Amino acid sequence: MEEIGKLTEEYKQVLAKVQDRRRHWHEHSKPFLKQYLSEVSEKHQLNWKAGANESMQGLEAVYLVFDHEPSGIVEQSPFSVVQKMKVGGFLSFSQTRNGQVVVWISFPFIDGMAEEKPKVETIETIEPEEITAENITRFISKFLDELIQWENDSRDEIGFRSHR
């Protein structure tokens, strides 16, 4: 019976921690991320913008996303000419079910060219309190490094679909 008492107290502490994380995210982390990412996108002129997905309360995300743009690849047939679009990648700070924040990247892809879904990579899972200017800058740097590598990697697009 003593073991159950210890475990119930531990569980109560875990539930309280989840609520603390959610409160910190809502009051501090999310507004700070929105502001910081907006400032970055305005200061450093690329085809990107900051945004938020708030459609699911408790599982919200704040992100930095590249706009879609022509890829330079054009599919031609006797009846049409189709400009293939590069769907921009993004860096996301996504709240998890327990209130922690997963920082992850979705890589760009050329729409209609590859069979697979876009590559996704988790960078780190952090506490909402760890969302600081220094850490955000570190994550944006990692994101940009990965996109530079993606743009330079000539072997990434193997497996094109055949359009007949």
pLDDT at 113 (0 to 100): 73
For 34-76, write each residue's pLDDT tens digit. Answer: 999 999 999 999 999 999 999 998 899 999 999 887 777 888 8
Q: CA 63 to CA 77: how far, in whole Å? A: 38
Q: CA 101 to CA 7: how far, in whole Å? A: 26
pLDDT at 164 (0 to 100): 41
| Sequence ranges of the domains in the chain | 2-152
How far, in whole angstroms, is CA 122 from its chain's centroid? Answer: 8
3-class secondary structure per residue, 53-95: ECCCCCCCEEEEEECCEEEEEEEECCCCEEEEEEECCEEEEEE
Residues with Cβ within 8 Å of 136's Cβ and at least 6 positions away in sequence, in order, are: 33, 36, 37
Per-residue burial over 118-134, b if 16 or more Cβ lie within 10 Å, else e, is eeeeebeebebeebeee
For 75-90, write each residue's pLDDT tens digit. Answer: 888 888 888 888 889 9
Decide: 121 and 147 in contact? Cβ < 8 Å.
Answer: no
For 134-164, write each residue's pLDDT tens digit. Answer: 999 999 999 999 999 988 886 544 444 444 4
Q: CA 37 to CA 159: how far, in whole Å? A: 35
- Higher pLDDT: 80 or 127? It is 127
Mean pLDDT of 12-40: 97
- Predicted TM-score (pTM) of the model is 0.84
pLDDT at 82 (0 to 100): 82
